[in-house]
Structure 1
Amino acid sequence: MQTPPQRLTLSTVFLLTVPPLLWAGNAVVGRLVRELVSPLTLNFVRWVIAFALLLPLAWAVLRPASPMWAHWKRYALLGLLGIGSYNAFQYLALQTSTPINVTLVGSSVPLWMLATGAIFFGARIGAREIAGSLLSMLGVLLVLCRGEWRQLLGLQLVPGDLYMILGTIAWAFYSWTLARTREPQAVRQDWAAFLMAQMVFGLAWSGVFAAGEWTLTDAYLVPGWPLFAALAFIGIGPAVLAYRCWGSGVQRAGPQAASFFMNLTPLFAALLSAAFLREPPHWYHGAAFALIVGGIVVSSRR
């Protein structure tokens, strides 16, 4: 029997606040090191570190007798869409776009979730969901046109905006695949095993993409303590610790209540960008944040 969601206690709020803070930090750090390491290589090294950290906790899932291998196609797809694609698109986006823009566009995931569900998974969309999606889409458009609606007539997106849109679509497919299929209980009940089952295949996809980057482009990696410190942070914090806190928080509060904490990510990104990148937020960032959150609130009400 599934445990009903509990009231939001201080400890639960803490668990659900840590992940968006770390994910915002991931965007800021990715922007900081864009001249030290190429994006697909950064994604690969990040997950190599996370894999090494997780291995002592979830090594059993890699055994030949593990139930994961009977569902390898599912985990290979999840690894491609989540670890392999979404994170790679995010680091690609940060080459030419700011962390505030990237996280705000990433907050449009509910919009793409509705569209993906309706087109590819047969989900029904009600009037509230449509209204909420329109509000969220207005917020995304406000970011893309930098607060000048007239620019939409001749809108020219920077590559980072397009990459992040592709990343959110990949995450929507990842989420629907996760929701519509089931993994073995032995894997689902253990957060480390569940993450490792995806990571082992996602790491392979990331390695293939990084190899292609070094083969086809002018890939680069500049060793030194700034890069090592950045890799340590994104390998430990956003890749492992955030997933652990998020899983515990969702179990306590339920996915619907927890989903609203995701919208703290662009807020934290704005604060961290102003502190470390000297990229202060503009008025349209606040307006877009309000529209996106408002859209999610409208679509989630019953």
Structure 2
Amino acid sequence: MSQKLSIETAVLLVVPPLMWASNAVVGRAVADMVPPLTLNFLRWLLALLLLVPLGWRVLGRHSVLWREWPRYAMLGLLGIGLYNSLQYLALHTSTPMNVTLVAASTPVWMLIIGRMFHGVAIRPAQVVGAVLSLAGVAVVLSGGRWAELMALQFVAGDLLMVLATMIWAFYSWQLTRVPADSPMRGDWAGFLFGQILYGVAWSGLFTAIEWQWSDARILWSGGLVLAILFVALGPAVIAYRCWGAGIQRVGPTVAGFFNNLTPLFAALLSLFLLGEHPRLFHAVAFALIIGGIVLSSRRHVR
């Protein structure tokens, strides 16, 4: 049962897009240093090791992790094995700008999948909220200039990102299917550890295929090591923890709108790194995206 969108929950759901904005930039920056599927495998293998001190208890012989293995294998496949692999693949031919634009369709897919597979009705306010949120993303990516948006060109990687976004919506809805009395409900580290455990297995399989059928190679450097450490800790462990907690509080539909803060954060991070100042269109975009969130969660706000 979804709760109201409190300030605490809103903060939880703001953290993931902030982390994922930097993930897209880092993923693009190291695209020539490490194959995409290998990067995903290394990222989650390190994330799994980081969670061992907190989640190792779920490895017990009678753990729900083994009794309900299809559930956790599916979560690992969707949220870790496939979504992230497809995103890194997309960044090999696409740009962070295009990737975040395609990912802006997340709220729409959340609504469609919720209606088709879980019988959740779509309210008119949610449709209007999705339009406002998409408009905010368009303002960010165009720099407030319509001609810039029209000049965007889409490539094969963008189609991979469409598929990745659909998979993310499926994954987010699956997070709500965990039984209320499951021991994992109160153990966030164990719940995430279980997903990553299966996800690493899937990612390892995909990586083996990548090395078998391509000229894959890794150009190790201090920068690459730091990049892998960052994407394992921030966009993986911290972001997934916050996303899962937010989903269980307000549901995938409302949470999906927060995803559209990602391109805004990406633009602002770039501004600060370059020593520039925010402009008026950033404020307009922020207002539109937040307006979409508030409108879509109207029954949840207090």
TM-score bin (small chain): 0.7 to 0.9
Alpha-carbon distance in structure 2 between the residues aligned to 1:39 and 1:156: 22
1:41-89 C-alpha deviation (Å, 9 max, x unpaired): 1000000000111112111112221112111111111111101111112
Structure 2 residue 93 is matched with structure 1 residue 92:
no
3-state SS of paired residue (2:158): helix
In 2 relative to 1, CA 83–7 (structure 1 residues): closer, same or farther, beyond 3 Å?
A: closer
1:77 counterpart residue number: 74
1:15-43 C-alpha deviation (Å, 9 max, x unpaired): 55443322211111111101101111100
3-state SS of paired residue (1:95): helix
AA of the residue aligned to 1:194: F
- After TM superposition, the structure 1 stretch with the greater mean CA deviation from structure 2, 125-134 or 256-265, is 256-265
1:8 counterpart residue number: 7
In 2 relative to 1, CA 247–140 (structure 1 residues): closer, same or farther, beyond 3 Å?
A: closer
The runs of 5 or more residues in structure 1 that have no matched partner are none
TM-score (structure 1 length as normaliser): 0.80
3-state SS of paired residue (1:123): coil
In 2 relative to 1, CA 150–46 (structure 1 residues): closer, same or farther, beyond 3 Å?
A: closer
Aligned partners of 1:111 and 1:136 also within 8 Å: no
AA of the residue aligned to 2:80: I
2:64 counterpart residue number: 67
Aligned partners of 1:15 and 1:245 also within 8 Å: yes
Aligned partners of 1:100 and 1:281 also within 8 Å: no
Q: Percent identity?
A: 53
Aligned partners of 1:83 and 1:203 also within 8 Å: yes
2:115 counterpart residue number: 118
TM-score (structure 2 length as normaliser): 0.80
Aligned partners of 1:116 and 1:173 also within 8 Å: yes
The runs of 5 or more residues in structure 2 that have no matched partner are none
Question: After the TM superposition, which residues 1-302 of structure 1 pair with which residues of structure 2 at under 5 Å, given as runs?
Answer: 8=7, 16-136=13-133, 147-148=146-147, 157-182=154-179, 185-246=182-243, 261-274=258-271, 294-302=291-299
3-state SS of paired residue (1:94): helix
AA of the residue aligned to 1:94: L
- After TM superposition, the structure 1 stretch with the greater mean CA deviation from structure 2, 92-101 or 81-90, is 92-101
1:252-271 C-alpha deviation (Å, 9 max, x unpaired): x8568866654332212112
Alpha-carbon distance in structure 2 between the residues aligned to 1:117 and 1:166: 17
Aligned partners of 2:31 and 2:92 also within 8 Å: yes
In 2 relative to 1, CA 111–17 (structure 1 residues): closer, same or farther, beyond 3 Å?
A: closer
- After TM superposition, the structure 1 stretch with the greater mean CA deviation from structure 2, 59-68 or 280-289, is 280-289
Alpha-carbon distance in structure 2 between the residues aligned to 1:277 and 1:222: 27
Alpha-carbon distance in structure 2 between the residues aligned to 1:234 and 1:113: 25
How many residues get paired?
295
Alpha-carbon distance in structure 1 between the residues aligned to 2:10 and 2:47: 25
In 2 relative to 1, CA 103–277 (structure 1 residues): closer, same or farther, beyond 3 Å?
A: farther
AA of the residue aligned to 1:83: I
Alpha-carbon distance in structure 1 between the residues aligned to 2:157 and 2:228: 21
Alpha-carbon distance in structure 2 between the residues aligned to 1:114 and 1:3: 15
Q: CA RMSD in A?
A: 3.7
AA of the residue aligned to 2:209: G
1:202-253 C-alpha deviation (Å, 9 max, x unpaired): 11111111111111223221111111110111111211123345556778x8
Alpha-carbon distance in structure 2 between the residues aligned to 1:47 and 1:221: 17
Alpha-carbon distance in structure 2 between the residues aligned to 1:160 and 1:276: 26
1:138-171 C-alpha deviation (Å, 9 max, x unpaired): 6678869x9459969xx96212321221111001
Alpha-carbon distance in structure 1 between the residues aligned to 2:102 and 2:58: 35
